[in-house]
Amino acid sequence: IHERTLREYQIESKLPSAIESGEIKIHFQPVVDSGKGQIVGFEALARWQDDELGQLPPAEFVRIATASGHIGALTLMVLRLACDAFRPYLQLPSSPYVAVNVSVSDLYGECFPDTLMSILEEEGIPPQRLVLEVTEDMLLGDTATVTAALARLRDNGVRIAIDDFGTGYSSMSYLSSHMVNIIKIDQSFVRRIVTKESDQKIVRAIVSMAADLELSVITEGVETEAQLQFLYRHDCAMAQGFLLSRPLPVGQLQAWLAQDGDQ
């Protein structure tokens, strides 16, 4: 307990300067449409290499940033970095999006939609090309505030994706309320998709429900050709995972596109 507390304390105290100094960077992981052979989008994932603590897992420092009140600054920094790195790819023929993960406290912040829109304007990114990834749990709790924030973003053209779908506490009402555009099926259902019948049934059910509700579906964590083929045959062509590409430093994206992408 002592060690864990010490580590959390170190991470918390290093966070503000890591955010400000540019020590925290982003990688982009492409999302691919395996049917069309096109890039659908790029998800920005935060990366932090600390001299003392080494490479810190984003899930850990994001959790600590959320608990300590630094998440707002982290989200806006990631958004700026993501917009900046994405600008050269606005013109790709497949019109890809850039996706940024947001936390529930971002959505509770009253100014969040306005701040986000002004960053998009400064960075020259049309709101239609931004996707915000939220988790199911965020859409519980104080739903009025979150719904109002999502409605303002949606009215401005920003799209919302439900991340890690199927792992949280779902209130299905948000899926039919036109607040959400994309469902990202969690990698835990994809891992055994080729062999485990219950996971196949769940994925088929999600794909069918999404089609009825006119939502797009992306599967996360696709690691094998067999998984990709299975998903393609079950009307789930949009995928993200190590098979297609690991998250890449933004400087390596151009080379990846030239080799594997659709340019």
Instruction: List the one residue from 106, 133, 136, 199 that touches Mg ion (CB under 5 A).
Output: 133
Least distance between Mg ion and beta carbon 161 (Å): 7
Output the smallest distance, CB 217 to ligand C2E, in A.
15
CB 220 within 8 A of CB 185: yes
Return all residues near 57 (Cβ < 8 A) that are at least 6 apart.
none
* Residue 44 and residue 99 in contact, taking contact as beta carbons nearer than 8 Å: yes
- Comparing CB distances to Mg ion, the nearer of 136 and 163 is 163
Do residues 131 and 98 make contact, with C-beta atoms less than 8 angstroms apart?
yes
In the numeric block, the tokens 């994706």 are attached to 161
Residue nearest to ligand C2E (CB): 241
- Tell the smallest beta-carbon distance from residue 226 to ligand C2E (Å): 13
The C-alpha torsion from 81 through 87 and 93 to 98, rounded to 10°, is: 30
Which partner in Mg ion, ligand C2E, none is near 62 (CB below 5 to 8 A by kind)?
A: ligand C2E
Q: How far apart are CA 209 and CA 214, in angstroms?
A: 9
The interface region with Mg ion, picked from 13-21, 25-33, 62-70, 161-169 by CB under 5 A, is 161-169
Q: Which residues contact 103 (CB under 8 A, 6 or more apart)?
A: 62, 66, 71, 75, 138
Measured CA to CA, the distance from residue 106 to residue 146 in angstroms comes to 9
The site for ligand C2E (CB under 6 A) is made up of 29, 45-46, 57-59, 62, 75, 78, 101-103, 133, 163-164, 187, 220-223, 240-242, 247
CB of 64 to ligand C2E, least distance (A): 12
Cα-based angle 248, 31, 180 (whole degrees, multiple of 5): 125
Per-residue x/- track, 91-110, Mg ion (CB under 5 A):
----------x---------
What is the smallest separation between the CB atom of 53 and ligand C2E, expressed in angstroms?
Answer: 15
Taking the least distance from each CB to ligand C2E, the nearer of 20 and 176 is 20
Query: Which residues here bind Mg ion, judged by CB under 5 A?
Result: 101, 133, 163-164, 220
